[in-house]
Structure 1
Amino acid sequence: MDPAVAESVLPADLRARLSSLVRLAPDPDRRDLGTVLADAEILISGWGCPRLTADVLARAPRLRAVIHAAGTVKSLVSDAVWERGIVVSSAADANAGPVASFTLALITLAARRTLTMAAGYPDVWPASADRTGADGLTVGIVGASRIGRRVIAELARSDVGHEILLHDPHVTDDEAHRLGAHRVDLAELCRRSRVVSVHAPLLPETKGLLDADMLALLPDGGALINTARGAVVDTDALARECATGRIDAYLDVTDPEPLPQGHPLLSLPNVLLTPHIAGAQGSEVRRLGQYAVEETARWVAGEPLLGEVTREALPRLA
């Protein structure tokens, strides 16, 4: 991984723990990776790691496991990895916690129409009791991903009477019920939810899933939150809806990313844009390294990897 990233993801105490499990190769000069790769059995990767192509793997004949101290491995893993039978693990579970916490904070802000209230200050001062609140909120979750499930669990744990709707074609009614949600089709979810939060991976079938027709179904005063992938939402259609002031948007991801200068979403007072910060940041990135170290311990002990990614599951993951 990028050396600057490595210092944060794998600080000294975690490297010491690694050293008790395996023989760590010295930090290589990037121009001399071949020497280190030739002996490597485990590769701990992270942000900044080059794609593991057949050419790269040819220099790592002993490699048996890739343990990724970050989230998605889609840009990292090539067919050659699977063809070699190399085990792959991701720290996506460790990254899910910060994203879920970020999303829950945005749901609270969205329920109170915080952006619209802030833009109208001081005209809306003082806020009156008949304004919108967060109790008894209907929240629509698009995608029962690991993050979507965490968000559902936290909302269901609340004692303020949230109604949680879920759209995910891979989840049954019974499974949704066990999660704490009621499974509905996307149109019904959009019609009934005051806040819609996107947690679906970007797949051919989810690209533009929330299009103009679906966004038009959101109730007046509703909000869309996207901490998943920008292209799941039709950006132009969302900009048109937000420009009317009818709905608000809280976007940690966009399509394209970043948005070009002058894009309408950049200047709308009822749109919050953040630069892909929902995942682990700052001191939180240590969680990714800790997860990778514990996965290494499991691999060395011959135990199943908690974050294992299979070739079959990869297309459905973020």
Structure 2
Amino acid sequence: MHHATDNRPAVLLAMGPGIAERLFADRHRDRLATLARTDPRLIAHDLAAATPAVAAALAEADVLFTCWGATPLTAEILDRAPRLRAVVHAAGSVKHHITDACWERGIAVTSAAAANALPVAEYTLAAILFAGKHVLRSAQRYEKLRTDYDWRRELAGAGNYRRTVGIVGASRIGRRVIELLRPFDVDVLLYDPYVSAAEAAGLGVVPAELDELCGRSGIVTVHAPQLPATRHMLDARRLALMPDGTTVINTARGSLIDETALLAELVSGRLHAVLDVTDPEVPPADSPLYTLPNVLLTPHIAGSLGNELHRLTDLSLDELERFAAGLPFADPVHSAALNHSA
């Protein structure tokens, strides 16, 4: 029984259709009900064309709880949310819905980017270890030959002992990949213009310029943000620097690699690739990426999916609990940092 002095925040859920159903299990709805004075069944899919119920909830909202497909928070929409003080984003990047108008109004923002980084790094670790063992090629050869072929000779150059892995970008995901690689006997090179030599030493990696990293690594994995400066950072020239048989892993954004140049290297068989993202995001139906034997192509599955969405929800509800208790967010998003992060 809640009395008139209920000072819990009013929270409005704002995200694309079908997402809240995957994000919230019953236990999450129960927890939200204890943290907020809100109807957890009301979900705003489009704040720009608000229903009367959504408009009323927006006018009262202290916090927006957002996820994928949230409406961009323009000045016009914020004018209809005079009490709004915070946005809790239960996903990674906030760039598609947090606008300058949010920062101008002093709205506090937090995201679950730290949680979403974990499954991407796990996928990357699996890709690195499988690439080093030439698992994809071995499976295909076995399927074709269906006998005890001379794989020991064919795989003489394979293996993960002292293999050099090049990491492009010490983002949250890049740093998590570095952590996950610690138990293994691999040598890690890092290219990141924002990381000092001392910081690289602290991470246990060797700093390298991008050309040097491409020339020395047997596996190159990309974890840089999508920015004008990072478009096609792996271009034809840098791909050509990679030794024969190098595997390129991309779980970041397709635009970071010049896909035309990469396709030429893959069709020739010189390089291998594990691609969870492409440019465009779904390759055309006739793209060789679907059928090349030296490519593992997945449909952008590295990030949170299935039960992993609940990690995002748990983390976001932790932040909401902090807000309700008058505490600052544990993992705030700062406007200045968005210029060189995802």
Which residue number in structure 2 is paired with residue 149 of structure 1? 175
Range with greater deviation from structure 2 (108-117 or 217-226): 108-117
SS of equivalent to 1:157:
coil
Report the identity percentage: 49
Count, aligned residues: 316
User: Given the alignment, which residue of 174, 178, 182 partners 2:198?
Assistant: 174
* 1:131 shift after superposition: 4.6
Work out the CA distance in 2 between the residues paired with 1:237 and 1:26.
Answer: 48
Which residue number in structure 1 is paired with residue 165 of structure 2? 139
Work out the CA distance in 2 between the residues paired with 1:71 and 1:77.
Answer: 12
Range with greater deviation from structure 2 (272-281 or 23-32): 23-32
* 1:115 shift after superposition: 2.8
SS of equivalent to 2:97:
coil
SS of equivalent to 2:35:
coil
Work out the CA distance in 2 between the residues paired with 1:100 and 1:212.
Answer: 26
Which residue number in structure 1 is paired with residue 58 of structure 2? 37
Change (3 A) 1:255 1:27: same
Q: Which amino acid aligns with 2:98?
A: V
List alignment gaps of at least 5 residues for structure 1.
none
Work out the CA distance in 1 between the residues paired with 2:76 and 2:290.
Answer: 42
Using structure 2 for the length normalisation, give the TM-score: 0.89
Which residue number in structure 2 is paired with residue 56 of structure 1? 77
Which residue number in structure 1 is paired with residue 34 of structure 2? 20
- Per-residue CA deviations over 1:221-250 (Å, capped at 9, x if unaligned) read 110000011101110000000111111000
Q: With CA pairs under 8 Å and 6+ residues apart, which has the higher RCO, 1 or 2?
A: 1
1:193 equivalenced with 2:214 (yes/no) = no
1:217 equivalenced with 2:231 (yes/no) = no
Contact 1:92 1:307 in 2 (8 A): no
Contact 1:113 1:248 in 2 (8 A): no
Range with greater deviation from structure 2 (129-138 or 182-191): 129-138
Over alpha carbons, which structure has the higher Rg? Answer: 2
Using structure 1 for the length normalisation, give the TM-score: 0.95
RMSD: 1.6
Range with greater deviation from structure 2 (122-131 or 230-239): 122-131
1:102 equivalenced with 2:102 (yes/no) = no
Work out the CA distance in 1 between the residues paired with 2:331 and 2:297.
Answer: 30
Change (3 A) 1:27 1:59: farther
1:311 equivalenced with 2:332 (yes/no) = no
Range with greater deviation from structure 2 (171-180 or 264-273): 264-273
Change (3 A) 1:26 1:166: closer
1:85 equivalenced with 2:106 (yes/no) = yes
User: Given the alignment, which residue of 5, 23, 27 partners 1:9?
Assistant: 23
* 1:267 shift after superposition: 2.5
- 1:218-233 equivalence runs, <5 A: 218-233=242-257
Work out the CA distance in 1 between the residues paired with 2:101 and 2:328.
Answer: 22
